[in-house]
Structure 1
Amino acid sequence: LRNVETRSRLTRFFISGGTPQQNAILTKRVTDIEGGSLQKYSSSQAPAEFVRLNFGLGNTVGNPIVDVNVPIYVGLSFENIGKGKIERILSYQLLPESGFNAPCLTSNGEIAVPQGRVAQKTFGVPGCRIENLPVQLQGIKSYEPLVLQASVVYDYVVSGRQQVTIHKSPSVEAPVSS
């Protein structure tokens, strides 16, 4: 399979309390509003396709509460969840159109896939620190929930039998001139 794209998403709750006490109050408010547990937001979500781009963003990568006044980091990895082999990672993009700025948010070309006798199910690439916040997070007074997006484009070799569903893209018809 060539040029397969898989998308991932991650929910984060950005806070700006200023003091540890204010942050604790905001964290409790977010937890109460979200039904008592934020565990479901600790990691990124993606469909059960061939390759998953796992990513985290925060003061600590697995914590869904992010204090905008403390350094924010991004971590990412690729996971082979199919029964074949990742041939190539052509590109990835994290947080497109979100307003975040950091060097690891977009690949600059193809990513090397580790090769060896035993295929690795998961491999990482270097993460980084967020350099600039989006405008909507600058000067927030309480908290701001955001659903962040990412995508990976890859080539995949299916081995054995595996069910594949192919979705047809909507076609765009060119206007007919008379």
Structure 2
Amino acid sequence: MLKTALSIVAAVACALPSGLSAAREPLPVNTEKELRIVVHDNVMPRRRDPWTSRRMERERYLEFETAIKAAIEEAGYQGPVKVTQAAANIPETEQRLDVFIYRWETGIESFGVALTAEFTMEAVLHVGEREFEMGTFSARASTTALGDVEPEDYRPAARRAIDQMIEYYRDAIEKRG
């Protein structure tokens, strides 16, 4: 039984296209070419959490866009960056970072003026025909929300996850070279 399972795994690994078999190796980004960041909002609506509702999708995108642009600038990235929402007819580019947001919600610890935001995303970098599956990044951030909770109160959780992604990528590139 074990031999059969191992032979199936080996056969599947050999059948993978060359672009996917190299997915574990970090791909260097050329700062002279545009890096397009495509944001896929896959947040599941939660009852009693208006931030997760479909009508807040645009606000979530704007908060994520603000957070990732600030993180990229702070990281010292010098190349052109274009952030877009996932949609049909997005132009093909040589370099694309797909970000899949799975969770961005109010944490169960939130009570009264104390707000805890939870955020989870997955990132996949495409350079040419190759891709680098960067992984999943999660973060939490707490704040005091005096009055109504505003969209920017959710931004710190996203920013922490983005910072984790950038740190992971930098470490992977350093170990590669």
TM-score > 0.5, shorter chain as reference: no
Whose RCO is larger (CA < 8 A, sep 6+)?
Answer: 1
The structure with more strand, counted as a fraction of residues: 1
The structure with more helix, counted as a fraction of residues: 2
Q: TM-score, normalised by structure 2?
A: 0.29
